[in-house]
Amino acid sequence: APTIYREQYTPPAYFVDTVDMGFDLDQVTTRVATRIKLTRNDATDDHTIILFGDELKLVSLTMNGTLLGKRDYELVDGNLHIPGAPDQVTLDIETVLAPSQNTSLMGLYVSSGNFFTQCEAEGFRKITFFPDRPDVMAKYTVMLRADKAAYPVLLSNGNLIEEGDLGDGRHYALWEDPFKKPSYLFALVAGKLVCQEETYRLQSGRDVQLQVWVEPGNLDKTQHAMDSLKNSIRWDEKRFGLELDLDRFMIVAVGDFNMGAMENKGLNIFNTKFVLANPRIATDIDYANIEAVVGHEYFHNWTGNRVTCRDWFQLSLKEGLTVFRDQEFSADLIGSTSGRAVKRIDDVRVLRQNQFPEDAGPMAHSVRPDSYLEINNFYTVTIYEKGAEVVRMYQTLLGRDGFRKGMDLYFARHDGQAVTCNDFRAAMADANGRDLTQFERWYSQAGTPAVTARMDYDAAAKTVTLTLAQTCAPSPGQEDKLPFAIPVAVGLLDNAGKDMALVLQGAPAERTNSKRSKPVHSLVLELTEAEQSFIFTGVTEKPVPSLLRDFSAPVVLTFDYSDTELAFLMGHDSDAFNRWEAGQRLATRYLLAMVGTVSADKTADQTAAATVDATLLIEALRTTLTDQSLGQSYREVILTLPSETMIAEALPVIAPQAIHGARQALRRALAQALQPEFIAAYSANRIDGAYQPDAESAGKRALKNVALSYLAELDDAPVHTLAQLQYDSADNMTDRLAALGALVNTSAPGRQAALASFYSEFEAEPLVIDKWFTLQAMARSTDVATVRELMRHPAFTLKNPNRARSLIFSFCNGNPSQFHAIDGSGHAFWAEQVIALNSINPQVAARLARSLDRWRKYPPAQQASMQEALRKVADTAALSNDVLEVITKALT
């Protein structure tokens, strides 16, 4: 298949006005009759209708009432080209599908005996021949027919117009979507499902019908999704003035799904993982994720559906913006300042842990990519999370009100259109009278900018000069980069740890301190050149700078802090994000020093801790842990050390075993030094009374359970008892799983029994069995042999993406010291699984294929086994485009 280039975009030769579809649903053979009314786009002089198709069986094709034969159209790579067509065309297309054979989970497929569709990005062409591209928007009417007993529920986008019996045990439902939409937002669902339903009154007074559809037996797990949906509706009205435009909004949960969820117009389809929750089966993190994903899909109704993407290179237009919106939604729902900071920290962690490596690896691409082989491979952390950071920077530069003005103008200009990232940038610029030309580089250039800061204090002149310099390493196809426009939020701390009043030389009076305005303690500097100096005046003592507050830009910022300055920032910075950041910087410094010691003598991880004096960090953490004025969830994130992946990224050469050894040694050192404080935190944060998922209760559980996990490093009888007691008495999955995790990573006598009892208690709950596999995949003692054994468990299958992810992905991405075993056994295992998945589900296979992206950063011996594994996959016959693209780029 050819590479697709952004620059080669051309408008469609034909637009589609209406689509009428009839489905005769049957698992073995489904018949689809589609009538499309097209009008020629007179902005082009092209008369060829292009209908995309993917593995489709064509039964018949009629144009304006005339049956077309093989000589009337061309079949090009599975697509239909009809040349010399008139300006007004009605096409009747009949196709047959085999849903039960469809393991790719794209197009129409079967899960647990029910029908579902997934059409983004290019799944609609697996259902019928169609101009399946997002800039072709049409109105849809859909008739569903199926056996009534087997498929009592028939759903599609929009409004239910009519339903009834057909005789012969079959029934029908007719749906009409009043809004025009691109084909990727089409959906149907049919089967044995039940729903929780509520009428909700919008701010305008209009009543809407909200439904959460699940398999029978799961109705006790829908309340949180419903609450999240209502919160989302309310939030979008309040924060962005955006109202739900339909009378009916449905969420449907499906157990077999490639991604998290899908924003089909009025009929969102969700992975069960992001719908089903009750205290028995879901953790606090699950509750938070459900709220975020329900919000995300709902917010797409405006950012994605009403205004969509012109082409798939613009994917971040809807995804970056919608992630930003869901992040703000979750933060606003938490409310408290420290809770908001924790949310920000969590989001930045995801970015650093996943997107920074992507941006430095062989699959690096800009937020608006220039080319792709398989679009499914571009649903990445760069498009989503870095895209969200790019949107956030507009808000940082323009302020909340300015950002809102930009959003209002974006909808005023583009409602009902398919547009580009440039259109969004133009709306932001025009609504605020700003020139955002340079900002385009965030869309066109890949790579994480590196910003170096230097501070010079002139005591006589009472000035501080802050010099910021930026560079960006080359990315595939992009050798030289131009400077980015980087908002750098800064503060200056005096000796008492208080923010100084900032007066920036040469800045307009309203942006900095003047006699009339109140003091400014944080300023957003705009770094637009390769190097720039900013001078602060009236500075009476040498300050400690707090840089990139609230992570104001997706860059790596370095400043030559001393250890004591970092400890000082940890205790005093008014910016909660940077207090955490200072702790992470200090811990990383110790960890990197320890990795050096451990590598020299691989078994000496115990002594590694002793060779590095971590007193400063330990004491700063003691202060944090015991500071009752800080929120519990905030204390928990401060106590969590940088992950092994984060440490790996900070090293020139990755030594997974040494990294693991160093991190474990530091965890043990902390456990020993802070044992009394951890015990006290554990007791103080027990909750009596029924489980509540609110942020405050979740924070208490998080702090209690992080204390437990540190204590478990001591691996002594008291902590075995404590963990066992928590496991046995827990009334919720958060505490259950935390206790089981603590047990499994110790030598506690009850750990095998606990694993077995957990399985038998939750055998009927697939999402909990996923957790059971994940916990074992990531356990310290789990090697490839253990994973192979777990794969033989009757509950394991590669066909279900959640299950494959729970074991295989968790091991390959979440247990680096075992996965990268020196003997290469992990890499050989990875190749086998990528190959096996390739023939079941290419999209999921390609995700797993990404696990060796960073192979060039490993020592020669490990590089060799990784290359061998990559070549083995590359040499596989019938490799999908999805996997081919990832492997080829990795090997280039």
From Zn ion, ligand HT7, none, interface partner of 121 (C-beta below 5 to 8 A by class): ligand HT7
Residue number with CB closer to ligand HT7 (504 or 844): 844
Output 240 or 299, the one with its CB closest to ligand HT7: 299
Q: Which is nearer to ligand HT7, 261 or 712 (CB)?
A: 261
Contact range with ligand HT7 by CB under 6 A, out of 118-126, 505-513, 744-752, 834-842: 118-126
**CB under 5 to 8 A by kind: which of Zn ion, ligand HT7, none does 633 bind?**
none
Question: Is position 261 an interface residue for ligand HT7 (rule: CB under 6 A)?
Answer: yes
Nearer to ligand HT7, 304 or 656 (CB): 304
User: Structure tokens of 32?
Assistant: 């689809």
Q: Which residues bind Zn ion (CB under 5 A)?
A: 319, 322
**Category of 818 on φ-ψ map: left (φ > 0), alpha (ψ -120 to 50) or beta:** alpha
Catalytic residue among 297, 644, 649, 765: 297
Residue 379 found at the interface with ligand HT7 (CB under 6 A): yes
- Which residue type does 392 have? R
- What single letter denotes the amino acid at residue 668? R
Nearer to ligand HT7, 259 or 582 (CB): 259
187 in contact with ligand HT7 (CB under 6 A): no
As measured in angstroms, the least distance from the Cβ of 388 to Zn ion is 10
Residue type, 533: S
Site string for ligand HT7, 240-259 (x = CB under 6 A): ------------------xx
Q: Which is nearer to Zn ion, 305 or 865 (CB)?
A: 305
CA quadruple 197, 195, 844, 7: dihedral sign: negative
8-state DSSP, 438: G
Q: Measuring CA to CA, how many Å separate 708 from each of 232, 627, 690, 713, 719?
A: 34, 18, 21, 9, 8
Q: Which does 421 bind (CB under 5 to 8 A by kind): ligand HT7, Zn ion, none?
A: none
Catalytic, 297? Answer: yes
- Which residues are CB-contacts of 49 (< 8 A; sequence separation ≥ 6)? 13, 14, 38, 80, 81, 82, 85, 89, 91, 131
> Rounded to whole angstroms, what are the CA distances from 697 to 685, 694, 703, 823, 889?
9, 6, 10, 45, 45
Q: Is 125 helix (H, G, I), strand (E, B) or coil?
A: helix
Member of 95, 104, 114, 118 binding ligand HT7 (CB under 6 A): 118
Q: With respect to Zn ion, which residue has the nearer C-beta, 256 or 319?
A: 319
Contact criterion met (CB below 8 Å) for 504 and 468: no
Map the footprint of ligand HT7 across residues 301-320, applying CB under 6 A. Answer: 319
Tell me: does residue 263 bind ligand HT7 (CB under 6 A). yes
Query: Which phi and psi angles does 309 have, rounded to 5°?
Result: -95, 140
Check residue 410 for interaction with ligand HT7 (CB under 6 A).
no
Three-class DSSP category at 190: strand
> Where does 562-715 have alpha helices with state H?
563-572, 576-600, 605-611, 615-626, 632-639, 644-649, 656-673, 675-684, 695-712
The residue nearest ligand HT7 at its CB is 259
Q: Does 296 bind ligand HT7 (CB under 6 A)?
A: yes
Specify the residue, 777 or 798, whose C-beta has the smaller distance to ligand HT7: 798
List C-alpha distances in Å: 604 to 219, 658, 742, 784. Answer: 53, 9, 23, 24
Does 173 interact with ligand HT7 (rule: CB under 6 A)? no
Q: Report strand pairing: 88-97 vs 137-147.
A: unpaired
Residues 6 or more apart in contact with residue 691 via CB below 8 angstroms: 279, 697, 731, 732, 734
Handedness of CA 803, 804, 808, 811 (dihedral sign): negative
User: Do the beta carbons of residue 271 and residue 214 sit within 8 Å?
Assistant: no
At closest approach, how far in Å is the CB of 142 from ligand HT7? 20
Q: Judged by CB under 6 A, how many residues of this single chain contact ligand HT7?
A: 15
Q: Which two tokens stand for residue 830?
A: 């990875």
- How distant is the alpha carbon of residue 323 from its chain centre? 8
* Residue number with CB closer to Zn ion (21 or 323): 323
Nearer to ligand HT7, 93 or 250 (CB): 250
272 near ligand HT7, rule: CB under 6 A: no
Smallest separation (angstroms) from Zn ion to the CB of 292: 11
Select 26 or 319, whichever has its Cβ closest to Zn ion. Answer: 319
Q: Which of residues 57-76 bind ligand HT7 (CB under 6 A)?
A: none
Tell me if 115 sits within 8 A of 107, measured CB to CB. Answer: no
Residue 232 touches ligand HT7, criterion: CB under 6 A = no
SS3 875: coil
Q: How far is CA 239 from CA 226, 440, 547, in A?
A: 20, 26, 29
174 backbone φψ class: left, alpha, beta (φ>0; ψ -120 to 50): beta
Q: Is the CB of 187 or the CB of 488 nearer to ligand HT7? A: 187
Site for ligand HT7 in 822-851 (CB under 6 A): 843
Question: Is residue 881 within 8 Å of residue 843, measured between CB atoms?
Answer: no
**Cα–Cα distance between 55 and 77 in angstroms, integer?**
10
Shortest CB 296 distance to Zn ion, Å:
5
Peptide bond into 121 cis (omega under 30): yes
Cβ contacts of 5 within 8 Å, gap of 6 or more: 370, 371
Q: Give the chain's length.
A: 892
Q: Decide: is 104 part of the binding site for ligand HT7 (CB under 6 A).
A: no
CA distance 515 to 513: 7
DSSP tag of 157: S
Rounded least distance, CB 312 to ligand HT7, Å: 10
Contact status: 376 vs ligand HT7 (CB under 6 A): yes
Contact 50, 80 (CB under 8 A): yes
- Pick one of 120, 359, 581, 677: the residue that binds ligand HT7 (CB under 6 A): 120
Coil, strand, or helix at residue 130? Answer: strand
In 359-448, beta strands by DSSP E: 371-372, 418-419
Exposed e or buried b for every residue in 331-346, given b needs 16+ CB within 10 A? bebbeeebbbbbbbbb
Q: What is the DSSP letter of 102?
A: -
Residues that bind ligand HT7 (CB under 6 A): 118, 120-121, 258-259, 261-263, 296-297, 300, 319, 376, 379, 843
Where in the sequence numbering do the catalytic residues fall? 297
